[in-house]
Amino acid sequence: MAGSEEEVKLFGSVGSPFVIRVQIALKLKGVEYNYQEETLGSLSDTLLKFNPVYKMVPVFLHKGKPISESLVILEYIDETWKHNPILPSDPYQRAMARFWSKFIDDKCVAPAWKSAFMIDEKEREKAAEELFEALQFLENELKDKKFFGGEEFGFVDIAALFIPLFKEVAEFKLFTSDQFPKLYKWSQEFYNHPVVKENMPSKDQLFGYFKARSATLAASRK
């Protein structure tokens, strides 16, 4: 394998929220890395070798060893570069951060995807209802905190970036300041965070990613 023993490399696709999670974590830690752009639907042999299970970005490479799954990568980054912690130090708060991040992946990301891109209207409506219910849980969890973990931007905020990004592309009517005032306020704090600002793709890049991802998903269902 080329590159030094200490090389940090990220295989991503511009506009992928899962990849942006990793980029934000690396930026928070100040870790320099090489970036390799992958084309959805035509992934490199290296990517497929590193992630034979899911055949997806992101793949994170450190000291020649690959890791996939964005939340798993975030935990690795937090354990490897210990300054500027992403997870809280208290075991119960850590458990809550893991719980809500998993909740976001299981209960928000999948229905958000369906409610934005499914062709069948009934399925789309059902997904929108599921998403509405899930966002209500997140709204309640935010309480009056600035970020999910409190004053500090952290693990759950990074996991939840899917929500404002998706909103930008799909223009959900669901997610308004009236219905989810706390999530709305959070999304503003989120966008205002300096590390987030630096790492946000343009709207065109986001659209490009969602279109390509939607096409590869449709192809996999055939």
Binding site for a copy of itself (CB under 8 A): 52-53, 62-63, 65, 67-69, 72-73, 75-76, 79-80, 91-92, 94-96, 98-99, 102-103, 107, 137
Rounded to 10 deg, the angle between the 181-192 and 121-142 helix axes is 80
Shortest spacing between CB 104 and a copy of itself, in angstroms: 12
Give yes or no for a contact between 141 and 96, defined as CB atoms under 8 angstroms apart.
no
Output the CA–CA distances (angstroms, integers) from residue 116 to 18, 63, 128, 173, in the order listed.
17, 39, 8, 11
**Among residues 141 and 168, whose Cβ is nearest to a copy of itself?**
141
Shortest spacing between CB 192 and a copy of itself, in angstroms: 29
CA angle 101, 13, 187 (to 5 degrees): 40
**Among residues 29 and 62, whose Cβ is nearest to a copy of itself?**
62
β-strand partners of 37? 12
Please tell me the distance from the alpha carbon of residue 99 to that of residue 73, in angstroms, as a whole number. 16
Shortest spacing between CB 41 and a copy of itself, in angstroms: 21
Shortest spacing between CB 203 and a copy of itself, in angstroms: 31
94-109 in b/e form (b: 16+ CB < 10 A) is bebbbebbebbbebbb
Give yes or no for a contact between 116 and 168, defined as CB atoms under 8 angstroms apart.
no
Give yes or no for a contact between 38 and 61, defined as CB atoms under 8 angstroms apart.
no
**Among residues 54 and 144, whose Cβ is nearest to a copy of itself?**
54
**Among residues 99 and 191, whose Cβ is nearest to a copy of itself?**
99
**Among residues 102 and 203, whose Cβ is nearest to a copy of itself?**
102
Shortest spacing between CB 22 and a copy of itself, in angstroms: 13
Q: Record the tokens describing residue 166, joined without a space.
A: 């998706």
β-strand partners of 11? 36, 59
**Among residues 14 and 31, whose Cβ is nearest to a copy of itself?**
31
Count of all residues that appear for the chain in the document: 222
CA angle 57, 59, 61 (to 5 degrees): 160
Shortest spacing between CB 123 and a copy of itself, in angstroms: 14
